[in-house]
Amino acid sequence: MALTGIQIFKLLPKTNCGECGVPTCLAFAMNLAAGKAELTRCPHVTAEASAELAEASAPPIRPLTIGTGDRAVKVGGETVLFRHEKRFENPTALAMLISDTIADSELAAKLERAKNLIYERVGLTLRPELLALKCQSGDAAKFAALVDKVARGSDFSLILMSDNPDVLAAGLKACADRRPLLYAATPENADKVAALAKEAGCPVAAKAPGIEELGNLTEKLTQAGIKDIVIDSSSRKVKDVFADQVHIRMSALVKKFRPLGFPTIVFACEMADNPMKEALVAALAVAKYGAIVVLSDFQGESLFPLLVARMNLFTDPQRPLATTEGIYEIGNPNENSPVLLTSNFSLTYFLVSGEIENSKVPSYLLVKDTEGLSVMTAWAAGKFVADAIAPFVKKSGIADKVKHRKLIIPGYIASESGGLEEELADWQVQVGPREGAHIPAYLKAWKDA
C-alpha cells in the first residue's frame, strides 16, 4: 500500500536539516508521497526506513525483463486501468508455442518465419518477442535438445514450459545465459522451481487454480526471495480469463494487493480451436491486461493485425504518433507527377497516403514535421503556415524531382496559399480537397500543365 506523506514523515530523521533541498522533513515527505522527490536526496535516512519506503513505493505491478540483448522484452509496470488515464506502459509480448515433439524441418521453418515477420510502421519496428518451448515428450533430454537448437538458431527470448523441475533444469542449462521465463511454479513444485529460478536469476511464472490460490503461491515465491514473477490463473475459458485479467489488474492497482501485482500470461493457444478465433482471443488479451500472450503459431495474416492492435492501444494518448518529415513516393511517381503537402500526424499521413494510393495516380507526398499535430491543429498552432512550410518545401529537394512547380495544399489551409506563393516565388499553389476521401477524384482530374 502506498504511504501517505504523514506515514513517510514518521520514517524520516525529522531534523529539518534542509540538505534535501526543501526546508523541512514534512515538506520532503509530502513531495515523496506525491512522487515529486527521490528518497536518495535525504543523506540521513536510515537503511531500515529506506527499505520500508522502497517497498511501499514500488510500482503496483512489478516490471520485469525476459531475455537478454536485442529481443529482451519488458512486461508489467502498468499503472492504470484505462489507457486515457495515463498510458499503457509495456506492450503485450507475443509468444509462439513450440513443442519438443516438433520435427526438425518444421522447427527450422517456424524459426525462419518468425525471424522474418517484422513490420515497419510510423518509424516503429513491429515484431513478436518470445518463443514458448514446451516439454510435451516428458523427456528432459529431448526438451534440452530443443532448447539448445532454438537458443542457437534464434535471438527470440524464451519461455521454458514444464511442470517438472528436472525438465526445467535441463532446459535452463541449455540456455542459461538467455534469462528465460520458467513456466511454471505450481503449488506442488514451488520449492524446487523457486530454487532453480533463484540460482539462475531467471523470472518465473506462477500457476495456480484461481486468483486466490495464485496470490498464495506468489507470496510463497516472494518469501523464497523471488521478485520477478509472471502469473497464470489457470483459466482457459475466454469468459473466465477475461474476468481474471480484470480482477488481477484491479486488485493490484485499486487495492494495491501485492500478491497479484505481477504481469500476467494468457494462453490464447489453449483457448480456441482454430487460428482465426485464437487471434481474436489474443486481441482481447492485448486490450484487457494480458502482459504475455502465447499463440500456437506466427502467421503474417494474424500476427500483423495483432501487432498493429497492440501498437494502437499502447500508444501514449498524450503524444500522438508522428511520421518522419520528408518526401514520400507513392506509386512510382515521375517528374510530371502531382506534389501534395500534409502534416506529420500519423493518422493524417495514413489517410492521405491511403487515398493517394486509392486514386492510382502516382504522386509525391511532402510530409512536414508539425510535431505530430493534424493539419488544422498545426495550422492553428502556427506550425503549418506559409512561414514554416516554405523553407521546408525548399530544402526538401522536391524541386529536383519534378519539372512542374505546382504544390497541392490541404483545403483546410487554403488561407495560406497567398503567403506561400509569396515565399515560394516560382511555385503555383493549388488548394486541394478538405477531406481525404475527395483526394482520388481530385488527383484523377489533376493535370501538370
Partner 1 sequence: MAFEVPKNTYNGKIREITLGSGPSALKIGGETSYPLYIFEGAVPNKVKIAMEVWDTKPDDWPEAALEPFADVIADPVAWAKKCVDAYGAEAICLQLVSTDPNGANRGADEAAALVKKVADAISVPLIVWGTANHDKDTEVLRKVAEVCQGKTLAIGPVEEGDHKKIGAAAIGYNHTVVASTPIDINLAKQLNILLGNLGVSDDRIVMDPTVSSLGYGIEYCYSVMERVRQAALTQNDERLQFPFICNISREVWKTKEAKQPTAEAPELGDAARRGILMEAISATLLLVAGADLIIMRHPEAIKLVREVVNDLTG
Query: Which residues contact partner 1 (rule: CB under 8 A)?
Result: 82-84, 116-119, 121, 211-212, 215-216, 219, 237-239, 242-243, 246-247, 250-251, 254-255, 257, 259, 276-277, 279-281, 283-284, 287-288, 299-306, 308-309, 312-313, 315, 317, 347, 350-351, 354, 357-358, 437-438, 441
Least Å distance, CB 419 to partner 1, is 28
Least Å distance, CB 373 to partner 1, is 14
Question: CB-wise, 302 or 370, nearer to partner 1?
Answer: 302
Least Å distance, CB 313 to partner 1, is 6
Least Å distance, CB 34 to partner 1, is 24
Least Å distance, CB 254 to partner 1, is 5
3-state secondary structure the chain: CCCCHHHHHHHCCCCCCCCCCCCCHHHHHHHHHCCCCCHHHCCCCCHHHHHHHHHHHCCCCCCEEECCHHHCEEECCCCCCCHHHCCCCCCCEEEEEEECCCCHHHHHHHHHHHHHCCEEECCEEECCCEEEEECCCCCHHHHHHHHHHHHHHCCCEEEEECCCHHHHHHHHHCCHHHCCEEEEECCCCHHHHHHHHHHHCCCEEEECCCHHHHHHHHHHHHHCCCCCEEEECCCCCHHHHHHHHHHHHHHHHCCCCHHHCCCEEECHHHCCCCHHHHHHHHHHHHHCCCCEEEECCCCHHHHHHHHHHHHHHCCCCCCCCECCCEEEEECCCCCCCCEEEEECEHHHHHHHHHHHHHHCCCEEEEEECCCCCCHHHHHHCCCCCHHHHHHHHHHHCHHHCCCCCEEEECHHHHHHHHHHHHHCCCCEEEECCCCHHHHHHHHHHCCCC
Question: CB-wise, 51 or 118, nearer to partner 1?
Answer: 118
Question: CB-wise, 181 or 281, nearer to partner 1?
Answer: 281
Question: CB-wise, 41 or 121, nearer to partner 1?
Answer: 121
Tell me the C-alpha distance between 442 and 440, whole Å. Answer: 5
Least Å distance, CB 347 to partner 1, is 5
Least Å distance, CB 371 to partner 1, is 18
Least Å distance, CB 276 to partner 1, is 6
Question: CB-wise, 12 or 96, nearer to partner 1?
Answer: 96
Question: CB-wise, 315 or 323, nearer to partner 1?
Answer: 315
Question: CB-wise, 161 or 322, nearer to partner 1?
Answer: 322
Least Å distance, CB 304 to partner 1, is 5
Question: CB-wise, 79 or 216, nearer to partner 1?
Answer: 216
Task: Residue 59: count other Cβ atoms within 10 Å of its Cβ.
Answer: 13
Nearest Cα to Cα of residue 182 among 154, 203, 152 = 203
Question: CB-wise, 174 or 284, nearer to partner 1?
Answer: 284
